[in-house]
Amino acid sequence: MAGGKIKKEKASRATTNHLQGGIPFHKSKGQHILKNPLIVDTIVQKSGIKNTDVILEIGPGTGNLTKKLLEVGKKVIAIELDARMVLELQRRFQGTPFSNRLTVIQGDVLKCDLPYFDICVANIPYQISSPLTFKLLSHRPAFRCAVIMFQREFAMRLVAQPGDNLYCRLSVNTQLLARVNHLLKVGKNNFRPPPKVDSSVVRIEPRKPLPPVNFKEWDGLVRICFNRKNKTLGSIFRQKTVLSLLEKNYRTLQALQQLQRGHSEDTEMDVSVLGDTGEDVSMDIEDERDEDEMEVENGGAGGEFSEFKEKILGVLKHGDFEDKRSSKLTQVDFLYLLSLFNKEGIHFS
């Protein structure tokens, strides 16, 4: 009997570690509740919330952060997927002065239409970090800022600068659309249940206005460049797959322009095209093959193909990009490179 009691007590303690208000948390759904009130206070303080602000909260859980947001803002709109958490939120604030200033929407934030809001403050499930970031940045009218808790490595990719090890497509695409700053690191033991990794809070401020760039074109260029970010651009743009793709685009657009002048000059303003930021091989470039095999040698292909290769390399040489690497290029560098290619009729979408 004694042994049975010990086991029962251990099981009870283990279960309690994953409960708040009697609700079990599901790690598979990214439910890690921030339990440290000092960090909650710091997040709210660093958000710079005004008493006239409508605040969007994503994944409010049991409402620890929600309560603090209601104390400083005009209204909180909380989007929660878990019906149990929705009921807990409603129960927690029912009959309080906050009840008429809280709107709870049950649903998947990636699938529902976002309402108007001035500022977003959220501790989100980490598996939706990338699509949610770009969904927010594509929202109109643009909000003032978002203060979001991310998995630490993802957060450091968002703020990475040229030359940093974590500088990648995600860094470039996010910083094209917004100013991003790291606010604070949050250790995993500040959550219940604790996740496997540390977190960081990041401030995201959308750029107003957005840069006048065709985002499909931009994404096409950046995908190619960051497929092998530590190779020189001269090496990347000599690859057979890249040259074939760009020449196909070139021939197609030449034909289209005969029918519709100025088609390629239209600015594509749908920023959601930048949201697919997985470390993909988007151009089907086979990194496992030897670089020499992947490159088109001079005279090794048909005359037209060799001529197009020289056109590409001519652009790189003109802008002094041939020996530079994507991992070291700034936003301005990429914008300039894209403009040089476009000037020569070379497009990426």
Q: Number of C-alpha atoms within 13 angstroms, CB side, residue 347?
A: 21
> Taking every pair of C-alpha atoms in the chain, what is the biggest distance, in angstroms?
88
32, two tokens: 């890690």
Ligand-binding annotation for 230, yes or no, is no
- Both structure tokens of 167: 């500088």
Q: Distance (Å, rounded) from C-alpha 76 to C-alpha 104?
A: 8
347 marked ligand binding residue: no
What is the tens place of the pLDDT at every residue in 114-158? 999 999 999 998 899 999 999 999 999 999 999 999 999 999 999
**What is the radius of gyration, based on Cα positions, of the chain?**
25
| pLDDT 10s digits, 8-38 | 444 444 333 444 445 555 554 545 788 899 9
Question: What is the CATH code of the structural domain delimited by 211-259+303-348?
Answer: 1.10.8.480
270: left (phi over 0), alpha (psi -120 to 50) or beta: beta
pTM: 0.81
Is 100 annotated to bind a ligand? Reply is no
Token pair belonging to 1:
């009997």
Alpha helices in 48-93 (DSSP H): 64-72, 83-93
The CATH 3.40.50.150 portion of the chain extends over 27-206
pLDDT of res. 31: 58
Reading the block at residue 328, the tokens are 């070291």
5 band by pLDDT with thresholds 50, 70 and 90: very low
CA dist 189 and 194 (Å) reads: 5
Closest CA to 326 of 337, 315, 318, 317: 337
The reply, when asked if residue 34 is annotated as ligand binding, is yes
Residues 6 or more apart whose CB falls under 8 angstroms from that of 97 comprise none
Please say if the pLDDT value at position 284 is more than 60.
Answer: no
- Is 320 annotated to bind a ligand? Reply is no
Cis peptide bond prior to 60, omega within 30° of 0: no
Q: Distance from first CA to last CA of the chain, Å, rounded? A: 72
Residues 6+ apart with CB under 8 A from 220: 347, 348, 349
Of the candidates 275, 257, 246, 260, the one whose C-alpha atom is nearest the C-alpha of residue 338 is 246
* Arch. (CATH architecture) of 27-206: 3-Layer(aba) Sandwich (3.40)
Q: Range(s) for CATH 1.10.8.480 in the chain?
A: 211-259+303-348
80 belongs to an annotated ligand binding site: yes
